Structures are given as structure tokens and as C-alpha cells.
């Protein structure tokens, strides 16, 4: 089957059920462990600064969805992030290149300067496709894993810092702290309060899972954790989503303390395995996580294309 039999077009609301079914079918063939329920997908389609009718491209043949490419605009740092998925039965037929072409045209409309894609390190086909499309490798991220039972627990109560959970109405505090903590980090797009409100109210999130650390009346650090479910086994795992310390309070051991507070919260929830992703070139963060016992179990690669 040649690529001219494929149609690439913008998503429309009437596609929703077929789009969900496509994701479920591919997850069965190539399990990732991610939840692909209708509820989770609907939440993703309604994220801030995103229009599925403009930023989601559907590939179909014979009236059936066989692939898509999703654009996440992060225009404050001049980039878009591309997420492409093609059904295994329709790969190596030029379809990915065709979808990417549509996405890059949309990127120019948005005024983005670069397009980036994140792929598993062992994805040989993706590397070949991206290379042909003019993408170049720019960064490696590590996926770390920890067995909480192996953590050496100091007496957290010996510290003078106060720990509490995020309260409703404090999203602006978290937004400001997160933006200060990650300012200048590779790939970080400053968040808005609207984006933080959206993320803290997702189906799988809870303000209780965002731990704030205070020094007196100042919030100086936080640990944002999630509890995920392996789709195929329903195994529950903990995940460190974000961990930050106000730059004005670094080099005081606060990072280690807030990390342990987050792990303690997950342990009390009955979790044993905890995972996180970190930039391989963020030496301070890598050292922090390794000091707690995290080990590398996988990695992913970021590829980039300059949009001219």
C-alpha cells in the first residue's frame, strides 16, 4: 500500500470515539503501561494553550484512523513538542513523514522556532525516520527507579522545615515556585496558574500529592508525586513528577529533605516502586536521586529540528 492512499487531516470532535479506540488497539499490540481510557484522553484534549482541531492531525485510510501526530505548543521558549503514533501495520510506508510535514507547517503558523520529539533510546526505526526528516539528537533523559524498601530513612522530624500538602487556592504559589526552581533548565517552559490548576485537577492527580516545604512562612521547595497504574497488570507505582527548590534556598539540603518527604508520602500510600525522569546533564538532580538509591533502568532521547 503506498502513501497516496492515506489522508492526513485535522482532528474534529466527531473523531473522538474512533481516536480513543485507535489508542486502545495500539496499546494492546504494543503495551506502554499508560492509561488510554476515554476519560484520560478527553482531559488531554482539553489542556490549556491547545486546540485539538488545529494541533492534532489524524491519518486515515478507508475511513479508519491508522495514526496521528499531536502538537504541544510551548511558545514561551519557541518550541513545539511532537508526539506521533502510527499503527504497526501501517509503518514504513512514508506515513510518518507525511504527518510530520503537516505538523511542521502548523509550527510555522504558530511562530515556533524549533520542533522537538522524545523517543525511547532503543527505537531504531524512530531514529532513522527522524534523521531523514532533518532532526538531530540533542539530549538524553534518564528514567530512574527505586524500591522504597531499600531507602535509608533519616529522622525527617529532626529538621526545622515544615511539610504540608497543597491547599485549594495555592496554585499561584506553586506556579511561582516551580518557575523559579526550573528557570534556565533545558526544555522548561514557564507555567501559568491556569496550567497548574488544570494539572492539579486531572483525574489521576490530587493536591494531597503535592508536598510543600516551608522555612518559616516562606514556601521554599516542593515534591509533586503521582500514583500510576500499569494498564496490563494494574500494578500501582509511585512517580516523582516534579521536585524543585527555590534558588535562594539551595545548598542547604532542602532537596534531599523534600524528596524524602515525597517518598514517605508514597510509602504511606502503600507504594513500593517509585520512578522518575531526569535530564542526564542535570548533575545536581542526578546526584540527589542517586544518593537516595535511584537506579537507571531506561532512557529516552530528544531530537530537534530547526524550523526555517
Indicate the domain borders of the chain.
3-112, 144-299
Query: Residue ranges of the chain with pLDDT lower than 50?
Result: 1-3, 156-157
10 Å CB burial of residue 234 (0-12, 13-18, 19+) is: exposed
Q: What sign for the dihedral angle of Cα 59, 39, 188, 49? A: positive
pLDDT at 159: 52
pLDDT at 226: 92
pLDDT at 163: 84
Look at residues 143, 165, 181 and name the one whose alpha carbon lies nearest to residue 262.
165
State how far the Cα of 270 lies from the Cα of 114, in Å rounded to an integer.
42
What is the value of pTM for the model shown? 0.91
pLDDT at 237: 87
Contacts of 91 (CB under 8 A, 6+ apart): 125
User: In 10 A of CB 208, how many CB atoms?
Assistant: 12
> Residue 282: what are its φ and ψ, rounded to 5°?
-90, 85
pLDDT at 1: 42
144-299 architecture in CATH?
A: 3-Layer(aba) Sandwich (3.40)
pLDDT at 36: 83
Q: Pairing mode, if any, of strands 273-279 and 136-147?
A: antiparallel
Calculate the dihedral angle through the C-alpha atoms of 184, 78, 128, 231, rounding to the nearest 10 degrees.
Answer: 70
CATH topology for the 3-112 domain: Aminopeptidase (3.40.630)
Amino acid at each position: 500500500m503506498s502513501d497516496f492512499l492515506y489522508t492526513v487531516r485535522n482532528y474534529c470532535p466527531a473523531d473522538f470515539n474512533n481516536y480513543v479506540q485507535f489508542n486502545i488497539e495500539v496499546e494492546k499490540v504494543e503495551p506502554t503501561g499508560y492509561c488510554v481510557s476515554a476519560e484520560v484522553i478527553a482531559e488531554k484534549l482539553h489542556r490549556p494553550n491547545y486546540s485539538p482541531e488545529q494541533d492534532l492531525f489524524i491519518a486515515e485510510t478507508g475511513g479508519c484512523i491508522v495514526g496521528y501526530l499531536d502538537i504541544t505548543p510551548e511558545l514561551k521558549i519557541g518550541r513545539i513538542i511532537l508526539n506521533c503514533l502510527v499503527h504497526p501495520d501501517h509503518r514504513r510506508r512514508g506515513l510518518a513523514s507525511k504527518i510530520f510535514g503537516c505538523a511542521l507547517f502548523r509550527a510555522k503558523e504558530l511562530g515556533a522556532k524549533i520542533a522537538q520529539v522524545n523517543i525511547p533510546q532503543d527505537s531504531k526505526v524512530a531514529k532513522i525516520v527522524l534523521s531523514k526528516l532533518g532532526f538531530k539528537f540533542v539530549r538524553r533523559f534518564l528514567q530512574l527507579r527505586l524500591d522504597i524498601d531499600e531507602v535509608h530513612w533519616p529522622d525527617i522530624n529532626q529538621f526545622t522545615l515544615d511539610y504540608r500538602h497543597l491547599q485549594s487556592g495555592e496554585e499561584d504559589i506553586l506556579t511561582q515556585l516551580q518557575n523559579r526552581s526550573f528557570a534556565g533548565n533545558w526544555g522548561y517552559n514557564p507555567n501559568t496558574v491556569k496550567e497548574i490548576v488544570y494539572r492539579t485537577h486531572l483525574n489521576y492527580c490530587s493536591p494531597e500529592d503535592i508536598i510543600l516545604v516551608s522555612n518559616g512562612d516562606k514556601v521554599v521547595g516542593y515534591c509533586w508525586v503521582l500514583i500510576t497504574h500499569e494498564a496490563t497488570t494494574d500494578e500501582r507505582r509511585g512517580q516523582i513528577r516534579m521536585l524543585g527548590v527555590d534558588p535562594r534556598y539551595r545548598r542547604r539540603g532542602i532537596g534531599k529533605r523534600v524528596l524524602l518527604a515525597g517518598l514517605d508520602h508514597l510509602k504511606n500510600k502503600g507504594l513500593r516502586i517509585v520512578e522518575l525522569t531526569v535530564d542526564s546533564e542535570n548533575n545536581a538532580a542526578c546526584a540527589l536521586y542517586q544518593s537516595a538509591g535511584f537506579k537507571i533502568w531506561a532512557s529516552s532521547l530528544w531530537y530537534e529540528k530547526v524550523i526555517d
